[in-house]
């Protein structure tokens, strides 16, 4: 799971009064999507003459962009942005996005999702397309497949139809779920979505602030980023659909591939998306309300009225479950209270890349209000239970605060299978529900009871809110092992191998970020932005990778402004 952005201003060309206007808006939008990825982020912009500028690196937006200071180094009237949550590949700075290839035409690329045929694509790019891949990221694979197809035109300059035809051929080669934005230097901005509609992407527009009659257009993973920046007429990019916005022109839509389904990932509604977002016409907030009502009915069915009467309070695990917990409280006629205080200055523990960090992060993130637990039987409501480590820590905190009984309810069904479309949940052996019933899980996390949402109820909570021609089915493979796309033979072995490599990968080489990590320690930190052809000048650092000594270097294709000293 990642966040992607794309923006093209109606006022084309470098505005001397506001040369970094596109970067300013993209930078602001990063903060509205920060929940989608806290591992790395970046922005690439295009200025006069097709010159591309970029700033990217490991860390959250405030760190990478030096609290906004770097934005002044990113001129241009169009650009794309990215926030990374690591899935396949490593957490190296070299894998921060947007990615860039100079041939053909200068393409920048931001990707949200996961390709399930990455080994085949890597072999194709090596043996047939003869394109070099510099990272372990499947996003770089997709970019190079697209670039290679676009190169087949043999033209000095391409048009919109060429771009859509190249995309169509790329869709034939790639399998998985994705929502992407791309920028072609000096030409325009592109957005497209997989043929199953698994990952979200929306487009909005607004009047130009500097050129009367012109329109600005913006793409984002979630509608909230557009709405907060004043964009309206927000529409979803549909399954298999692409949109290209050429500078100075209106968007052009094209059905790149016929829809194979309309099945958004239901985890967007359960956990990942912000509650003030609307995805495929379905309000995330309203869907979570319905999840709570249906979960309350399941609790009553399993526990009975006598046990429910013994419950003193319904307490959400902040913040994703707040809405659902309020609905549970309302439906069961129980007191609702905020028993946990969330520290807003720490990461979301679920998307921390390492298990140890997640466990330590729970108590750093949450603390119990003792008066809300002392002597009480509490019903804790969370969005989901994945590994169970977070849930166990939360139950322990409730008991330490004096709870006499703890009942734990999950708005999602038991997670029994890996996620394969861009969310690194866990391997099957790490999933607490793999091979266990709810009673064994309750014992594992030290709760009196554990109650899960039914899968049919979860799907109904979203489908009942779907507009005409909206989705009625959802990607729910993590709950039942049945995925919306065909899964290549041997893919799960490959996925487990990649995850194992990530955990063992202590020495990382950085080619485009503000830090280099060796054995878990950071060496050298600074942050900034720059343009093509400004490489080098730094003293060489050395790091060990696979037993070989390699020099640290800037990005091999385009200079990264995040490596320069900050401007004060």
CB neighbour class for 396 (10 Å; exposed up to 12, middle 13-18, buried from 19): middle
Q: Write out the two tokens for 59.
A: 């860390």
Q: Is 462 a catalytic residue?
A: no
C-alpha distances in Å from residue 448, one per residue of 28, 377, 406? 45, 10, 6
Query: Taking a C-beta distance cutoff of 8 angstroms, is the pair 393, 360 a contact?
Result: no
Structure tokens at 296: 């309350």
What does the DSSP assignment read for 223-284?
Answer: HHHHHHTT-EEEEEPPTTEEEEEETTS--EEEESS--S----BTHIIIIIS-TT-EETTEEH
Name the E strands within 424-491.
Answer: 449-452
Can you say how many angstroms the Cα of residue 20 is from the centroid of all Cα atoms in its chain?
25
Residue from 2, 55, 337, 462 carrying the catalytic annotation: 2
How buried is residue 454: exposed, middle or buried, by Cβ count under 10 Å (0-12/13-18/19+)? middle
DSSP-derived 3-state class of residue 133: coil
Q: 427, 424, 357, 370: which is closest to 399 by C-alpha? A: 370
Task: Please state, as a whole number, how many other Cβ atoms lie within 10 Å of the Cβ of residue 256.
Answer: 23
Show Cβ contacts of residue 217 under 8 Å, excluding neighbours closer than 6 positions.
7, 8, 10, 189, 203, 204, 205, 245, 251
The neighbouring-strand residues paired with 405 are: 377
Tell me how far apart the alpha carbons of residues 151 and 167 are, in angstroms, rounded to a whole number: 12
323: left (phi over 0), alpha (psi -120 to 50) or beta: alpha
- What beta strand segments (E) does 411-566 contain? 449-452, 516-518, 521-523, 530-531, 542-545, 548-551
Answer whether the bond into residue 319 is a cis peptide, omega within 30°.
Answer: yes
- Token readout for 567 is 């401007």
Cα 1 to Cα 33: distance, rounded to the nearest angstrom: 11
Instruction: Give the burial string for 482-510 (b: 16+ CB within 10 Å, else e).
Output: ebbbebeeebbeebeebbeebeebeebbb
Determine contact, residues 479/417, Cβ cutoff 8 Å.
yes
Active-site residue numbers? 2
């Amino acid at each position: 799971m990642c966040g992607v952005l794309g923006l093209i201003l109606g006022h084309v060309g470098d505005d001397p009064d506001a040369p970094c206007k596109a970067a300013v808006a993209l930078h602001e939008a990063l903060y509205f999507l920060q929940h989608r990825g806290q591992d790395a982020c970046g922005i690439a912009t295009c200025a006069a003459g097709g010159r591309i500028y970029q700033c990217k690196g490991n860390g959250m937006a405030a760190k990478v962009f030096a609290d906004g200071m770097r934005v002044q180094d990113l001129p241009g009237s169009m650009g794309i942005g990215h926030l990374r949550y690591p899935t396949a590949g490593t957490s190296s700075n070299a894998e921060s996005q947007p990615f860039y290839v100079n041939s053909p035409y200068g393409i920048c690329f931001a990707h949200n999702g996961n390709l399930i045929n990455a080994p085949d694509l890597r072999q194709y790019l090596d043996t047939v397309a003869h394109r070099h891949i510099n990272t372990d990221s499947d996003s770089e694979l997709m970019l190079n497949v697209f670039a290679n197809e676009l190169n087949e035109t043999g033209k000095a300059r391409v048009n919109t139809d060429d771009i859509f035809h190249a995309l169509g051929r790329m869709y034939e080669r790639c399998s998985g779920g994705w929502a992407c934005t791309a920028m072609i230097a000096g030409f325009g901005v592109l957005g497209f979505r997989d043929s199953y509609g698994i990952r979200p992407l929306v487009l909005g527009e607004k009047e130009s602030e500097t050129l009367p009659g012109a329109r600005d257009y913006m793409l984002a993973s979630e509608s909230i980023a557009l709405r907060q920046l004043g964009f309206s007429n927000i529409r979803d990019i549909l399954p298999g659909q692409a949109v290209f916005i050429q500078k100075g022109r209106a968007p052009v839509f094209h059905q790149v591939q016929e829809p194979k389904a309309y099945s958004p990932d239901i985890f967007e509604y359960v956990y990942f998306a912000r509650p003030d977002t609307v995805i495929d016409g379905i309000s995330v907030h309203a869907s979570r309300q319905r999840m709570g009502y249906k979960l309350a009915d399941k609790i009553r069915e399993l526990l009975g009225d006598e046990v429910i009467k013994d419950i003193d309070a319904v307490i959400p695990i902040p913040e994703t479950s707040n809405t659902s917990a309020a609905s549970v409280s309302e439906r069961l006629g129980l007191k609702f209270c905020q028993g946990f205080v969330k520290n807003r200055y720490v990461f979301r523990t679920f998307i921390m890349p390492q298990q140890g960090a997640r466990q330590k992060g729970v108590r750093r993130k949450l603390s119990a209000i003792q008066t809300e637990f002392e002597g009480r039987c509490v019903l804790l409501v969370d969005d989901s239970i994945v590994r169970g480590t977070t849930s166990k820590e939360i139950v322990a905190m409730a008991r330490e605060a004096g709870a006499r009984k703890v009942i734990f309810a999950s708005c999602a069904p038991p997670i029994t299978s890996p996620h394969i479309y861009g969310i690194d949940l866990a391997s099957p052996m790490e999933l607490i529900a793999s091979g266990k019933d709810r009673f064994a899980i309750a014992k594992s996390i030290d709760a009196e009871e554990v109650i899960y949402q039914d899968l049919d109820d979860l799907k109904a909570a979203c489908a009942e809110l779907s507009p005409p021609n909206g989705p009625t089915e959802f990607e729910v493979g993590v709950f039942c092992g049945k995925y919306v796309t065909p899964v290549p033979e041997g893919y799960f072995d490959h996925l487990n191998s990649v995850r194992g490599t990530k955990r063992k990968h202590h020495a990382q080489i950085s080619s485009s970020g503000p830090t280099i990590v060796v054995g878990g320690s950071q060496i050298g930190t600074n942050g900034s932005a720059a343009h093509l052809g400004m490489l080098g000048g730094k003293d060489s650092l050395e790091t060990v990778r696979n037993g070989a000594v390699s020099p640290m270097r800037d990005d091999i294709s385009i200079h990264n402004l995040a490596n320069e000293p900050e401007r004060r």
